[in-house]
Amino acid sequence: DGGITQSPKYLFRKEGQNVTLSCEQNLNHDAMYWYRQDPGQGLRLIYYSQIVNDFQKGDIAEGYSVSREKKESFPLTVTSAQKNPTAFYLCASSIPEVGLNQPQHFGDGTRLSIL
């Protein structure tokens, strides 16, 4: 079955520590996205990538970093510079067709908490 796999499901971070959230997709989608969801809030875009080896900042990129070395993988690193990292993180992918705006498909999410 094609889909998006995020791991781990739960993650705990100590003060001053960097942590990496994994996102893998086998949908053969070129575009991938990372969102942050806080309680009672909508999804806010952190980073997105429309093609391998290229990515752009979203609305709340500070304190986060990404890489896109392979089409199927888009890991997100939450750095120690992100002072309020506790949130639910969702990864998504889509077929980037300019002007057609195909729907994004989402993983199950990673819940990150501070120890």
Partner 1 sequence: AQKVTQAQTEISVVEKEDVTLDCVYETRDTTYYLFWYKQPPSGELVFLIRRNSFDEQNEISGRYSWNFQKSTSSFNFTITASQVVDSAVYFCALSEARDDKIIFGKGTRLHILP
Contact positions vs partner 1 (CB under 8 A): 31, 40-43, 45, 48, 50, 58, 88, 90, 92, 94, 96, 98-109, 111
Diameter of the chain measured on Cα atoms: 44
H or E segment at 114? strand 110-114
What is the gyration radius of the CA atoms in the chain, in angstroms? Answer: 13
88 - beta bridge partners? 37, 111
CB of 32 to partner 1, least distance (A): 11
Closest Cα to residue 35, out of 53, 19, 47, 49? 47
Q: Which is nearer to partner 1, 75 or 106 (CB)?
A: 106
Nearer to partner 1, 63 or 109 (CB): 109
- Least Å distance, CB 73 to partner 1, is 18
Q: Nearest to residue 93, comparing CAs of 38, 48, 42?
A: 48
The residue (of 28 and 102) whose beta carbon lies closer to partner 1 is 102
Q: Which is nearer to partner 1, 16 or 40 (CB)?
A: 40
* Minimum gap (Å) between residue 16 Cβ and partner 1: 28
